Structure 1
Amino acid sequence: MAHRKPEKSHENKPTIDSQYIQQHLASERTFLAWIRTAIAIIGVGFLVTNLHFTMRSSLSPIGDILANVIGISSVALGIITIIMATVAYMKKIDAINNQTFRTPKITIMTLGVLVIVIALIFAAYFLIA
Structure 2
Amino acid sequence: MQAEKERVATIDSKYIQQHLANERTYLAWIRTAIAITGIGFLIINLHIKSSFHTLPNAAVQWIGILSVLAGVSTIIFSTVSYFQKAKQINEQTFRTSRPLILFLSTLMFAVVAMFGLYFFAVLL
* TM-score, with length taken from structure 1: 0.87
Q: Structure 2: which 5+ runs fail to align?
A: none
* Separation in structure 1 between the aligned mates of residue 80 and residue 43 of structure 2, nearest angstrom: 29
Structure 1 runs not aligned, ≥5 long: none
1:66-91 CA-partner distances (Å, limit 9, x unpaired): 21111111011100000000000010
Q: Retained in 2: the 8 A contact 1:95–1:101?
A: yes
Match of 1:23 in 2: 18
Counterpart of 1:118 (choices 101, 111, 118) is: 111
Aligned to 2:2: 5
Query: Equivalent residue of 1:44, what SS?
Result: helix
Instruction: Output the aligned Cα RMSD.
Output: 1.6
SS in 2 for 1:58: coil
- Check conservation: 1:45, 1:70, Cα contact below 8 A: yes
Query: Which of structure 1's runs of 4+ aligned residues deviate more than 4 A?
Result: none
Aligned to 2:90: 97
CA distance in 1, matches of 2:73, 2:59: 20
CA distance in 2, matches of 1:26, 1:6: 33
Query: Which one of 83, 93, 96 corresponds to residue 76 of structure 2?
Result: 83
Tell me if 1:59 matches 2:56. Answer: no
Identity in percent: 50
Whose Rg is larger? Answer: 1
Q: Give the whole-Å Cα distance in 1 for the aligned partners of 2:95 and 2:101.
A: 12
Aligned partner of 2:33 in structure 1 is: 38
Matched position secondary structure for 1:103: coil
Measure, in 2, the Cα distance between the counterparts of 1:48 and 1:91: 34
1:33-80 C-alpha deviation (Å, 9 max, x unpaired):
00000000001001101100010x3223x3322211111110111000
